[in-house]
């Protein structure tokens, strides 16, 4: 059915799988799989649908993930996936230039409001790590984000040598002097880290993967949402 534009399979409790041939529906604009409670997974080919505008998965209790390939859905404007087993928002989602409305993992609303909240969720510290920053190297290798509250700033210097593991740092400062001091401390550490990486490349005459990108958020009683909206617009 090459001209099919809408596929509505709502309330099909025995539907357990979707054929990979769904990826050939080049004119499809709506797929509604709401309350297909036996559906366990989606074929990867579904993410190739560049014409799809509305995708509904609400009530698919066994669907537990969306692939990073989601960004290939160039026309997707509405994604509704309430009451599923999905617990992680794909990183690629915030790169989407088309999604206007989203309901996923407890977040619901317009993308301009929801995406900053998703980014804040990514930035929250895993495992509620205690301070002072004393953890094993095995835990540190899986750490990607760190939130440093204003009342624990003195411990900031204790983990700056761990920067290669961090994708984001959120530091709350209680004064302008503290903000200046801590920002200088972090930038010096980043400079040293990248200098060492460059020296390693020059020494070995080969490329190195040690240099990483780090999102740094610092301020006093930060209104982070406004800053993140600016980032998303860029």
Domain boundary among 62, 91, 115: 115
For residue 124, the model assigns a pLDDT of: 52
Do 20 and 97 lie in one domain? The reply is yes
Q: What DSSP assignment string belongs to the chain?
A: -TT--EEE-TT-TT-----GGGGG-TT--EEE-TT-TT-----GGGGG-SS--EEE-TT-TT-----GGGGG-TT--EEEE-SSS-----GGGGG-SS--EEEETTEEEEHHHHHHHHHHHHHSPGGG--SS----HHHHTT--EEEE-GGGGGGGGGGGGGGGG-SEEEEE-SSHHHHHHHHHHHHHHHHHHHHHHHHHHHHHTS--------EEEEESS--HHHHHHHHHH-
For residue 39, the model assigns a pLDDT of: 95
For residue 75, the model assigns a pLDDT of: 94
Beta strands at 101-104 and 107-110: parallel, antiparallel or unpaired: antiparallel
Do 47 and 140 lie in one domain? The reply is no
For residue 213, the model assigns a pLDDT of: 57
Do 162 and 202 lie in one domain? The reply is yes
Domain of residue 168, residue span: 124-233
Tell me the CATH number at 85.
Answer: 3.80.10.10
Is residue 53 included in any domain, yes or no? yes
For residue 123, the model assigns a pLDDT of: 58
Domains held by the chain: number: 2
Cα four-point dihedral sign 71, 72, 76, 79: negative
Is residue 159 included in any domain, yes or no? yes
Do 19 and 94 lie in one domain? The reply is yes
Domain boundary among 115, 139, 159: 115
For residue 31, the model assigns a pLDDT of: 97
**Tens digit of pLDDT at every position of the chain (234 positions):** 989 999 999 999 999 999 999 999 999 999 999 999 999 999 999 999 999 999 999 999 999 989 888 889 999 999 999 999 988 788 788 778 788 899 888 888 888 778 777 776 665 544 443 333 333 344 344 445 555 655 555 556 666 666 666 666 677 777 777 777 777 777 787 777 777 666 666 665 555 444 455 666 666 654 444 555 555 565
Do 60 and 80 lie in one domain? The reply is yes
Do 134 and 175 lie in one domain? The reply is yes
Do 21 and 53 lie in one domain? The reply is yes
Do 146 and 189 lie in one domain? The reply is yes
CA distance 87 to 195: 38
Is residue 1 included in any domain, yes or no? no
Count of C-beta atoms within a 10 Å radius of residue 6: 11
């Amino acid at each position: 059915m090459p001209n099919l534009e809408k596929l509505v399979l709502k309330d099909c409790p025995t539907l357990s799988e979707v054929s990979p041939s769904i990826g050939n529906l080049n004119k499809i604009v709506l797929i509604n799989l709401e309350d297909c409670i036996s559906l366990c997974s989606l074929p990867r080919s579904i993410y190739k649908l560049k014409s799809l505008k509305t995708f509904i998965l609400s009530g698919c209790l066994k669907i537990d993930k969306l692939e990073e390939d989601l960004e290939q859905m160039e026309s997707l404007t509405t994604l509704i996936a309430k009451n599923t087993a999905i617990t992680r928002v794909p990183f690629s989602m915030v790169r989407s230039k088309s999604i206007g409305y989203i309901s996923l993992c407890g977040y619901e609303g317009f993308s301009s409001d929801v995406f900053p909240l998703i980014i804040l969720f990514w930035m929250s510290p895993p495992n509620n790590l205690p301070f002072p920053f004393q953890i094993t190297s095995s835990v540190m290798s899986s750490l990607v984000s760190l939130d440093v509250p204003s009342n624990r700033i003195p411990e900031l210097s204790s983990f700056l040598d761990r920067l290669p593991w961090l994708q984001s740092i959120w530091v709350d400062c209680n004064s302008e002097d503290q903000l200046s001091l801590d920002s200088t401390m972090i930038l010096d550490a980043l400079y040293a880290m990248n200098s060492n990486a460059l020296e390693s490349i020059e020494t070995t005459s080969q490329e190195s993967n040690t240099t990483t990108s780090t999102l740094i958020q610092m301020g006093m009683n930060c209104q982070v949402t406004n800053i993140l909206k600016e980032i998303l617009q860029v």
